[in-house]
Amino acid sequence: MEKEKNRETILDIRHVSIYFTRYERGIRRRKLPVIRDLDLRVHPGEVVAVVGASGSGKSLLAHGILGILPYNSRMEGEMFYRGEPLTKERAEKLRGRQIALIPQGVTYLDPLMKVGEQLCRGRKDEETVRRCREVLDRYGLGPETEGLYPFELSGGMARRVLIASAVMDKPDLIIADEPTPGLDVGAARRILGHFRELARGGAGVLFITHDLGLALTIADRVAVFYAGETIEEALAADFEDPERLRHPFTKALFRAMPVHGFAPIQGSQPYPGTVSSGCPFAGQCQACQEACVSTEHIPVRQIRGGLVRCLYPEEGNV
Ligand SMILES: Nc1ncnc2c1ncn2[C@@H]1O[C@H](COP(=O)(O)OP(=O)(O)OP(=O)(O)O)[C@@H](O)[C@H]1O
Ligand code: NI
């Protein structure tokens, strides 16, 4: 039964933590947790947004899934792709084929290779060449783009090439790490619309962004990241009414959206690794109580069909 259920999940992340090892004064090694005890699932046909501030660990999560974490980091916990463990070796095989990353930086393009060659990945058969032209066209790039080197592309064109390259082999899971900066609102929306189309075709999309408003234009579910933890997982529909949201930080994010009054959130997120116990949001939370600081590990609770990591979720309506 459990196995059957797993099969319907494209990506299943369980209790994943990512650490960096930092050397202090040359010899003392310190484990610096950036992502802590993360759970996340992506199902076929679903767009799941991960929303978090700069430095909250979003790109590391993407790199962890793809097995391309930096050498000085370590991952704990479990990841499954279509019910089978997603080991580093398996991720390497699936990468670029079944699992595609749209990276945050355009530097991921090979500067010495023409766009067409990068998209075709060395294949020259008719079907690949046709597909290459099709995906470029889909993102508003003419066939002449194939003969250009990355330095000849504008920022917006390079972004679109990255996206075209990711969907070239019709992946099952698309991990889009801030895919639209530098694009105007119309172009960004069109790209997000393509993600929805890919999901309609049965793929799962993990959309990573710092922009809650943008996430809500497309996501079915939103996981909110705060200092390396998921503090809430909500349905996009929950954001229609802040009363339906569960965590004080999510409510504050909602009020900070330009359409909801642009209310600034006081203070700043703690730097990863500086929170040793208690709720990481405690320092910024207006509903903070003694137990929020003294409880070592705040458990995740299920409320109204969503998840929240807060001791007093119903009292955050301040
Ligand atoms: N190679 C590394 N060594 C040590 N620390 C790192 C390394 N890479 C990232 N970090 C730290 O991990 C944290 C999370 O980084 P990450 O790039 O995942 O953030 P992010 O949420 O993607 O931010 P942004 O929105 O700015 O892209 C940051 O505080 C960063 O300083
Ligand atoms: Ni990032």
The answer, yes or no, to whether any atom of ligand 1 lies below 6 A from the CB of 60, is yes
Ligand 1 center–CA 167 separation, angstroms: 26
Ligand 1 center–CA 59 separation, angstroms: 7
Joined together, the tokens standing for residue 78 give 């479990």
pLDDT at 54: 87
CB 15 within 8 A of CB 77: yes
Q: What integer is the mean pLDDT of 201-228?
A: 94
The answer, yes or no, to whether any atom of ligand 1 lies below 6 A from the CB of 32, is no
pLDDT surpassing 70 at residue 147: yes
pLDDT at 52: 92
Which one, of 211, 215, 233, lies nearest residue 223 by Cα?
233
pLDDT at 81: 96
Among protein residues, the one whose CA lies closest to atom 30 of ligand 1: 55
Give the residue, out of 31, 58, 175, with the most ligand 1 atoms within 8 A of its beta carbon, to mutate for a pocket test.
Answer: 58
Q: Per-residue pLDDT tens for 3-13? A: 444 458 999 99
ipTM above 0.90? yes
CB 37 within 8 A of CB 75: no
Q: What is the largest CA-CA distance in the chain?
A: 66
Rounded to two decimals, the pTM is: 0.91
The answer, yes or no, to whether any atom of ligand 1 lies below 6 A from the CB of 59, is yes
Q: pLDDT averaged over the chain?
A: 89
For residue 272, give the ligand 1 atom closest to its CA: 29
| Strands 229-235 vs 306-308: parallel, antiparallel or unpaired | antiparallel
- Confidence bin at 177 (pLDDT 50/70/90): very high
C-alpha pair distances (Å), 125 with each of 47, 147, 148: 32, 17, 20
Amino acid at 43: H
Among protein residues, the one whose CA lies closest to atom 4 of ligand 1: 20
CB 34 within 8 A of CB 273: yes
